[in-house]
Structure 1
Amino acid sequence: MSRPPEPDTDTDIGTDIGTDTAERLRQALGPVTVTRDTALGGGFANSTRLLELADGRRLVLKTAPPESAPALTYERGLLGTEALFHRLAARAGVRVPAVLHHEPAGPRAPAEWLLLSHLDGTTWDAARDRIAPADRAALRRELGESLARIAAVTGPAHGYPRPAAGLSAPDWPTAFTAMLHAVLGDARRFGVALPAPDGVLADLPRRFGRRLAEVRRPALVHFDAWEGNVVLGRTGDDRWHLAGLIDGERAFFGDPLAELVGLDPLGAAEDDPDLMAGYRSVAPLPALGPGARTRLALYRLHLALVMRVEAAPRAYGGGFATWLDTWSTGRVTEQLAVLDALAPEA
């Protein structure tokens, strides 16, 4: 994924935990002493802080915006989704932060919060220019293996794992329809202009329902495993290795192919032979025939719309907002053309 301009937000989209830190740690861990409390950047929806304790532990405390803050429909309760993802991925043998405590918003907590262990290392995005080609190939294989293990987890239903949001269903066509229609509804709610007529976009799940129905098992999908959410470490001989995945907030249960879209929003991960070899060393992926290519186009279009519409509640500004508007328009137009070309086969 190439680097777009950095986002420029006009408002503080996180929540400053300030004096709440000690009380939250006491609830989760009992008496502990924080020797250092550092705000972490890189996230756009939640406040994230690195807490270093006197006993040597390093923890991450994530706090959601208040319930009254503007957000997309699927974004309510995201830290609960992240906690669930990390627990399920860990059981599947994937390196992720350990969930130490999660508390939804309620009488004791005006905003949802999540306490995690810290994965030591650096993000792939930050280390990209220091990684040799041979190391990159090995890392992509490792990443593919991890994503295949994640996809082996089967959920209770398709869609987002919060039934109250109304974005889950017993089958994938119904769930994906709800997910796409929610983003289109968010665009209307926030006054975001769409790059194609609303009716054309809303009709896509019906138009390609037969291909969506090819997905029968609700597989766990991270859907945001781009290089900024992949943590790398170095061994004693200075070689890079995959230290783990973070930020499972966008996770859902559905088509494992969607993972290829989330890990490379700007490109086409299915064209990466190392990634695909790593994945297929653990589990099969569907052949990239008309059905798979149709679904990949639908997921790329959906993600581009999510990224476009979320700019409104997150108050992006500057060069990033301009880039995002231009890029998402091009991406949606491109994927609609792909779908039109596939329509006779679909």
Structure 2
Amino acid sequence: MHSRTKVALKREELALLVRDVLGSQRSVRRVDELTEGMFNAAYALELEDGASVVLKVAPPPELPLLTYERDLMRTEVEFYEHAAKEKVCPVPRVLAHDFSRTRIGRDFFFMERLRGTPLTRAKNQLTTGERARIQTELGELVGRLRTIRGRFFGYLQPDTGLQAGTWREAFLAMVAALLQDAERFAVKLPMPARDVLALFQSGAKVLERVEEPTLTHFDLWEGNVFVHRVEGAARIEAFIDGERAFWGDPLAELASTALFRDPEQETDFLRGYQAATGSPLVFTEEVRHRLNLYRAYLYLIMVLEGVPRGYSGLKAMAIRQYCRMKLRGELKLLASR
């Protein structure tokens, strides 16, 4: 799908950035645009010295975006830096970044190019046992990720204005911002925005159990989990696209690791999660309620984001309708609680 946030660079501009940032003696041999992501422009660059890197370029800052998407690329780099420093999960190595907007008027960064492929494609080449092992490893890594703690709750970038001292306050601010975005972009929701907010607010007491801000990726669907074979064994190579990361409830991770599925049925994932955390994840009514809130929030993002990005065509329409249906179901469940 086309996205208006993916504003392309010319080959000469790419070559200039490589020389300017990675070294004056380095030149580009080959350029391949990476089309799977839907927010940033991305290019796989093969350099004359044999190195292979990825360049990601943010949208122009003047483009209208969702509130939480302000300085989104900076969140991705910060997620990688936290994960690499704490060594809890594999992420691509960031080679250089420039957030000054003095070179091309946009944020950009270079990172190493991964060798593997997204799990969405890799799983077709895996045996049943290998798929189970990957899910167990995913659970282990997600369980380890929850050990990274922050100083506040909410999105990482201060310009979003979506930070607070408690998770309840931060999460409700995040929801309110999305609903304001829905009105700003004239996106039709399953019910009026004020009624949606009331459902989130009525269930927010369960969020008070979350007392420590934990780094949460919140977009670990199979497309953002890279898999690579090492000595014949399929392993998770890296987590990518940490753009939606926030400091919050680690339980929210399950809204994306089990996207459109029931996390209670993900037995291999839960086995790995227990191995990493030392205790099983028990799906109490409170846990189910929190997951209900996080799924509703994620589906709300997915219903909204295609409008400012200008998604069009039958595929985009089908995805939006499906996400609206899933959102309606989660809101109905919240109402029943």
TM over 0.5: yes
- Residue 15 of structure 1 is aligned with which of 7, 19, 22? 7
1:313-332 Cα distance to aligned partner (Å, 9 max, x none): 11112222322232122212
| Counterpart residue type for residue 308 of structure 1 | V
Aligned match of 2:260: 266
Measured in 2, the distance between the counterparts of 1:257 and 1:271 equals: 15
Deviation at 1:127, TM superposition (A): 1.8
Instruction: Structure 2: state its 5+ residue gaps.
Output: none
| Counterpart residue type for residue 279 of structure 1 | Y
SS in 2 for 1:65: coil
With the length of structure 2 as denominator, give the TM-score of the two structures. Answer: 0.94
With the length of structure 1 as denominator, give the TM-score of the two structures. Answer: 0.92
Aligned match of 2:83: 89
Measured in 1, the distance between the counterparts of 2:31 and 2:246 equals: 31
Measured in 2, the distance between the counterparts of 1:205 and 1:218 equals: 20
Deviation at 1:285, TM superposition (A): 6.3
Aligned match of 2:111: 116
Measured in 1, the distance between the counterparts of 2:203 and 2:137 equals: 33
- Residue 26 of structure 1 is aligned with which of 19, 22, 33? 19
SS in 1 for 2:271: helix
Instruction: Structure 1: state its 5+ residue gaps.
Output: 1-7
- Residue 73 of structure 2 is aligned with which of 75, 79, 88? 79
- Residue 171 of structure 1 is aligned with which of 166, 178, 196? 166
SS in 1 for 2:53: strand
Deviation at 1:76, TM superposition (A): 1.3
Measured in 1, the distance between the counterparts of 2:39 and 2:148 equals: 26
Measured in 2, the distance between the counterparts of 1:325 and 1:246 equals: 23
Higher fraction of helix: 2
Measured in 1, the distance between the counterparts of 2:229 and 2:116 equals: 8
How do 1:195-214 and structure 2 match up within 5 A?
195-214=190-209
Deviation at 1:12, TM superposition (A): 4.2
Deviation at 1:105, TM superposition (A): 5.1
Measured in 2, the distance between the counterparts of 1:304 and 1:335 equals: 9
Aligned match of 2:312: 317
| Counterpart residue type for residue 264 of structure 1 | A
Structure 1 residues 43 and 184 mapped into 2: Cα distance closer, same or farther (>3 Å)?
same
| Counterpart residue type for residue 5 of structure 2 | I
Between 1:76-85 and 1:315-324, the stretch displaced more is 315-324
Structure 1 residues 123 and 46 mapped into 2: Cα distance closer, same or farther (>3 Å)?
same
1:77-131 Cα distance to aligned partner (Å, 9 max, x none): 1110000101111223211101122222533341111111111111111122221
Deviation at 1:286, TM superposition (A): 5.1
Between 1:326-335 and 1:141-150, the stretch displaced more is 326-335
- Number of residue pairs matched by the alignment: 333
- Residue 153 of structure 1 is aligned with which of 128, 148, 156? 148
1:236-295 Cα distance to aligned partner (Å, 9 max, x none): 3x3311111111111111010110002232112332011011111111465311211111
- Residue 44 of structure 2 is aligned with which of 44, 50, 64? 50
Asked if 1 retains the 8 angstrom alpha-carbon contact of 2:199 and 2:335, the reply is: no
Measured in 2, the distance between the counterparts of 1:240 and 1:286 equals: 26
| Counterpart residue type for residue 21 of structure 1 | L
| Counterpart residue type for residue 49 of structure 2 | D
SS in 1 for 2:190: coil
Deviation at 1:69, TM superposition (A): 1.5
Aligned match of 1:220: 215
Asked if 2 retains the 8 angstrom alpha-carbon contact of 1:260 and 1:268, the reply is: no
Asked if 2 retains the 8 angstrom alpha-carbon contact of 1:168 and 1:175, the reply is: yes
SS in 2 for 1:164: helix
Structure 1 residues 71 and 220 mapped into 2: Cα distance closer, same or farther (>3 Å)?
same
Measured in 2, the distance between the counterparts of 1:156 and 1:285 equals: 27
Measured in 1, the distance between the counterparts of 2:208 and 2:64 equals: 33
| Counterpart residue type for residue 266 of structure 1 | F
Asked if 2 retains the 8 angstrom alpha-carbon contact of 1:92 and 1:149, the reply is: no
- Residue 276 of structure 1 is aligned with which of 264, 270, 280? 270
